[in-house]
Structure 1
């Protein structure tokens, strides 16, 4: 299953590293965004299958961005962070996101697992 992905994070280094990792694993990254406004514009323009959204975008809430994305596009939204899920579990559960991935667990397999079954992928 090919999943076209949009990455949303305020760290250019993370965006490039994640793009390389995911594309090597067979998930095409069709776009990058570093702000909520860019994420909304890219998602509308590119219609990705999945959008990975960092919880903290330089002062912007990834939860707010996920909600705005869910209102406008049909993409699966997965929240990502360097923080542990336990720190945000209730907020993640109450969000329109399909699930959560710790950035260190990011992989094509983990994304496919969240997209296919919902929830949080176990560490790989």
Structure 2
């Protein structure tokens, strides 16, 4: 599985990369902004995109539909991530075209695999 991480924290991107690669997920790229994410999506064609809800001055909720539109009929699976609790954004997560939400402290290859299995069921 090829993954793109979109987050404005360099520290988190590096920690997530190490964690996911140790769990067998290839992190093919990272992005900090909407523009970088869209460019990376076109160039790298990842299977999975992890999108932080809070991208500094930008918003992950606004980015998700743009990522899906950019890829047409074969969009990558998109999972929203945040340090905030899911309950803080429950309504926005429910109305998002993202596949799911995963808290950053729970991030792991196993957690992602479980989300994808549930989505495929």
Q: Where does 1:17-28 land on structure 2 (aligned, <5 Å)?
A: 17-28=15-26
CA distance in 2: counterparts of 1:115 and 1:46, whole angstroms: 20
Q: Secondary structure at the match of 1:80?
A: strand
Deviation per CA, 1:56-77: give whole Å up to 9, x if none: 1011010000110011121000
Hey, what does 1:91 align to over in structure 2? 92
Higher relative contact order (Cα pairs below 8 Å, separated by 6+ residues): 2
TM-score between the two structures when normalised by the length of structure 2? 0.93
RMSD: 0.7
Of the three residues 36, 39, 43, the one matched with 1:38 is 36
Hey, what does 1:82 align to over in structure 2? 83
Shift of 1:16: 0.3
CA distance in 1: counterparts of 2:54 and 2:81, whole angstroms: 9
Shift of 1:92: 0.6
Shift of 1:44: 1.1
Runs ≥4 in structure 1, deviation > 2 angstroms? none
CA distance in 1: counterparts of 2:77 and 2:28, whole angstroms: 14
Q: Secondary structure at the match of 2:84?
A: coil
Deviation per CA, 1:25-82: give whole Å up to 9, x if none: 1000000000011001101111101000000101101000011001112100000000
Which structure: greater helix fraction?
2
